[in-house]
Amino acid sequence: MRRLLLLFVGLCLLPAGLDAQFLFPQARRGSAPAISWEYDAYVSYDFDNREFDGCGRVDLLSETLHALVFSPSVGLSLPQGKHVRHRVMVGFNAEHDMGTGPADKDVFTGFTANYDAHVRLGNGALFEGICGIIPRHWMEGEYSEAFFSDSLAFFDSDLEGVLLKYRSNKLQAEMGLDWMGKYGDGRRERFQIFISGLYAPKDWLSLGWTGSFYHYACSPQADNVVDNHLLQPYLRLDAAPFLRLDELSLQAGALLSYQCERDKDLGSPKLPLGGEFVLRLRRKGLGLENAAYVGDDLMPYHDQTDPAGIRYADQLYRGSPLYRGFYDRAELFWEPQLSEFLSLRVSARFHFGEEGFLGSQQKIGFCFNLDAYRHPGSGSGRIGQPAQKRRNSGFRLFM
């Protein structure tokens, strides 16, 4: 790890002593686009105090998650014409759990390496394609916590696979592949394909969808395969355009699931379903969000074990374990608009189930994104804003 760190520092210092045209003489001769150096630093601070004592659920622990993550990266950027940009980056993640010492955890938790392409299409829309080891916070879709829990990014900060995005004036969509396990001793083969989309024909009306295809396959110790697929179409109405508010929306959607442990249930898969209703109110950084789920247990295999005696639990289910019957979550938050490269969110969450009050959370999250400062509108995995549509322009792939 020390050699990796020295190599990374050397790459960071190299641009100060060498010019890109010296390294790539073809750029100086004009035979190819100029290649420029890129660098980024992402800092994330998270405090999450969870108090669930007394609720009686074994998967809801009272604990405090408190950590700082520093993720620097360096690479190259290559323009292709006026509306295409290629970028290759490599970096590492350094994490420290507050209150621990060096002996408790290796500070270097992994490395990132990815290729990122930004393309402005002929109709003014934007496309972004990323592959490699990708920071999870580059995801821009909207996902219910039935798909991804709020603690997932804390413990699993990267995707390993592909992330594709599209955005126009009325439509934004995202699709990704996360390969989480390669077949091996004590390790199951598993991957997840996820999609998210939002179509807004009017300022006050949006149609959205979210989906997850999760394949939980074999290991040498457990030769069974479990499928866990979830789809959520929803409708959102927002009264903010008619009021002096940033948002006053009501969202209603269905959660439709297909789950099957192939060795046992191939002829009779489990089909839990339910509905989720979300109310959002936001004004000048202050906000309230209430999400209520009514329906079946979306995690019927959660407490069962595989042939190796390992509980499925969060290995099979990536969402919050609270979606196992009636569930209501209320959150009060303050999220001021500091800048494009700085974000802050302070919130208090309250959880309710069929038993009544389950517990609460107090959360603080702060992020600094250097690349968002260096490339406003399209930095660090952000697709950016589409251009206004041109009239009678016809179809062209590139502008």
Which of these ranges, 97-111, 152-166, 248-262, 359-373, has the smallest mean pLDDT? 97-111
Domain that holds residue 231: 35-374
In a domain, 228, yes or no: yes
Asked if pLDDT for residue 299 goes beyond 90, the answer is yes
Residues 383, 141: Cα–Cα separation, whole Å = 11
In a domain, 10, yes or no: no
CATH code, domain with 247: 2.40.160
In a domain, 230, yes or no: yes
In a domain, 385, yes or no: no
Distance spanning both ends of the chain, measured CA to CA = 45
Closest by CA position to 159, among listed 200, 112, 205: 112
In a domain, 208, yes or no: yes
Prediction pTM value = 0.86
Structure tokens at 49: 């105090």
Asked if pLDDT for residue 143 goes beyond 70, the answer is yes
Residue 307's pLDDT is what? 86
In a domain, 390, yes or no: no
Burial bucket for residue 57 (CB in 10 Å: 0-12, 13-18, 19+)? middle
In a domain, 26, yes or no: no
Structure tokens at 22: 């010296």
Count the domains in the chain: 1
Question: For the residues 34-63, what does the mean pLDDT come to?
Answer: 88
Higher-pLDDT residue of 88, 23: 88
CB 74 within 8 A of CB 91: yes
Question: For the residues 240-258, what does the mean pLDDT come to?
Answer: 96
In a domain, 192, yes or no: yes
Residues 35, 28: Cα–Cα separation, whole Å = 10
